[in-house]
């Protein structure tokens, strides 16, 4: 496969984003590693600076105030975003919900998406279920019409958000057809049941589990068309960008390894001995991998770590608390103007 050269404008943008990530975000990683949690105030500063630098909402169509950046351009920027740890790249390359924009009515765009474009909040996608992950066609959540309302029932996992999403996009089945619904936090019948710990914590986003029990939304919250296609398109784009971010992370890791190798042997001609005593071991120029591994020992699948919502509405790791039993509920986060990452 031939990978095309980046057009000069995209190459220049990529270079600027990469420089911003290195200058503004890498130093933040150090303080997050030391504190063991995300400094959301500092992240908000980075987000504001990135927005001022023109890195925000570039993927949105021009009619929505974006730049209509090509998929190649978006992938190039996601690669730079992936070089930051802790999900901090999301604060720099802040994409808007272009796939959603395509399928919403003008009224729905104005009401729910325009605040995202203004940086007031983010949306959260609630597609995955305990029995429907890779195979989205297995979604079992249902929506039944009752007068001017829809009654939603089901369970959703991995609902990624930074804390307080402006709304959830819930995929449910209506008479055999997959349909998307907009459900606002605080809607009766919507419960946030668990916030599992992840190996990548502390991370900008968390991935809570939701339950919908006779959760009623008005008909204007139903996305009129493209439920199935909308969810698939979102997954397609998200997964492509995950791959791009992994490429960026690999590039950075290789660079760190190369630097370490160079500093280990000034001549560059000899690999350091694996049997060297600790005192003679060269010190890596960055503590990237060491910090990563110390985090993973603290968070494991068998001992899920509960996170607690801070006063700012963001989720904070609380490792000393016992895990909340499955099914135990907490109130769904309320609407706020906090900007959350995808």
Ligand X SMILES: Cc1cc2nc3c(=O)[nH]c(=O)nc-3n(C[C@H](O)[C@H](O)[C@H](O)COP(=O)(O)OP(=O)(O)OC[C@H]3O[C@@H](n4cnc5c(N)ncnc54)[C@H](O)[C@@H]3O)c2cc1C
Give me the DSSP letters along 177-240.
EEEEEEE-TT-TTEEEEE----TT-S-S-B--EEEEEEEEEEGGGB--S-HHHHHHHHHHHHHH
CA dihedral (173, 175, 177, 181) positive or negative: negative
Least Cβ distance, residue 16 to ligand X (angstroms): 28
Choice between 26 and 158, CB closer to ligand X? 158
What's the rounded Cα separation, in Å, for the pair 72 and 105? 28
Size of the site for ligand X (CB under 6 A): 11
Segment near ligand X (CB under 6 A); pick from 157-165, 175-183, 265-273, 296-304: 157-165
Contacts (Cβ under 8 Å, ≥6 apart) of 252:
83, 288
The answer to whether the beta carbons of residues 170 and 132 sit under 8 Å apart is no
- Per CB under 6 A, which region of 77-85, 152-160, 213-221, 289-297 contacts ligand X? 152-160
Site for ligand X in 95-134 (CB under 6 A): 125-128, 133-134
**Shortest distance (Å) from residue 272 CB to ligand X:** 35
Does 283 sit behind a cis peptide bond, omega within 30 degrees of 0 on the bond before it? no
Beta carbon nearer to ligand X, 56 or 161: 161
CB of 209 to ligand X, least distance (A): 11
Nearer of residues 10 and 74 to ligand X, judged by Cβ: 74
**Residue 170 binds ligand X, judged by CB under 6 A:** no
Site for ligand X in 190-209 (CB under 6 A): 207
> CB-wise, 14 or 295, nearer to ligand X?
295
Q: In the bound complex, what is the minimum distance in angstroms from residue 193's beta carbon to ligand X?
A: 15
299 is a site residue for ligand X (CB under 6 A): no
Residue nearest to ligand X (CB): 133
Give the one residue of 17, 38, 100, 159 binding ligand X; rule: CB under 6 A.
159
Nearest CA-CA partner of 120 in 87, 181, 167? 167
Burial tier of 327 (Cβ tally within 10 Å: 0-12, 13-18, 19+): exposed
Residue with Cβ nearer ligand X (275 or 301): 301
Is residue 158 close enough to count as binding ligand X by CB under 6 A?
A: yes
Backbone angles phi, psi at 116, to 5 degrees: -65, -40
Nearer to ligand X, 16 or 306 (CB): 306
Contact flag: residue 210 with ligand X (CB under 6 A): no
Considering only CA atoms, which of 309, 321, 290, 249 is closest in space to residue 33? 290
Cβ atoms of 201 and 183 closer than 8 Å? no
80 versus 129: smaller Cβ distance to ligand X:
129
DSSP β-ladder status, 167-174 and 123-126:
parallel
* Contact set with ligand X (CB under 6 A): 125-128, 133-135, 158-160, 207
């Amino acid at each position: 496969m031939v990978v095309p050269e980046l057009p000069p404008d995209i190459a220049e943008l990529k270079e600027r984003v990469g420089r911003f990530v290195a200058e503004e975000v890498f130093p933040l990683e150090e303080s997050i590693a030391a504190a063991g949690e995300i400094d959301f105030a500092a992240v908000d500063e980075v987000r504001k600076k990135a927005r001022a630098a023109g890195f925000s909402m570039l993927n949105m169509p021009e009619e929505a105030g974006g730049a209509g950046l090509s998929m190649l351009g978006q992938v190039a920027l996601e690669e730079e975003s992936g070089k930051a740890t802790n999900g901090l790249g999301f604060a720099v390359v802040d994409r808007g919900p272009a796939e959603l924009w395509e399928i919403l009515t003008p009224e729905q765009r104005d009401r729910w998406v325009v605040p995202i474009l203004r940086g007031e909040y983010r949306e959260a996608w609630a597609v995955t279920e305990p029995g429907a992950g890779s195979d989205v066609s297995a979604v079992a959540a249902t929506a039944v019409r009752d007068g001017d309302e829809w009654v939603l029932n089901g369970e959703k996992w991995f609902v990624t958000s930074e804390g307080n999403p402006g709304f959830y996009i819930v995929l449910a089945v209506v008479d055999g057809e997959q349909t998307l619904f907009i459900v606002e936090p605080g809607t009766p019948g919507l419960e946030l049941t668990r916030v599992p710990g992840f190996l990548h914590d502390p991370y900008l986003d968390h991935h809570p589990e939701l339950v919908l029990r006779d959760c009623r939304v008005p008909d204007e919250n139903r996305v009129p068309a493209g439920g199935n296609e909308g969810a698939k398109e979102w997954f397609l784009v998200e997964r492509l960008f995950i791959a791009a971010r992994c490429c960026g992370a690999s590039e950075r890791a290789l660079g760190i390894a190369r630097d370490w190798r160079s500093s280990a042997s000034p001549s560059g001609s000899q690999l350091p001995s694996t049997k060297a005593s600790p005192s003679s071991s060269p010190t890596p120029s960055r503590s990237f991998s060491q910090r990563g591994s110390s985090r993973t020992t603290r968070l494991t699948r068998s001992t899920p770590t509960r996170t607690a919502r801070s006063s700012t509405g963001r989720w904070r790791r609380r490792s000393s608390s016992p895990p909340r039993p499955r099914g135990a509920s907490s109130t769904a986060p309320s609407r706020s103007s906090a900007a959350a990452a995808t």
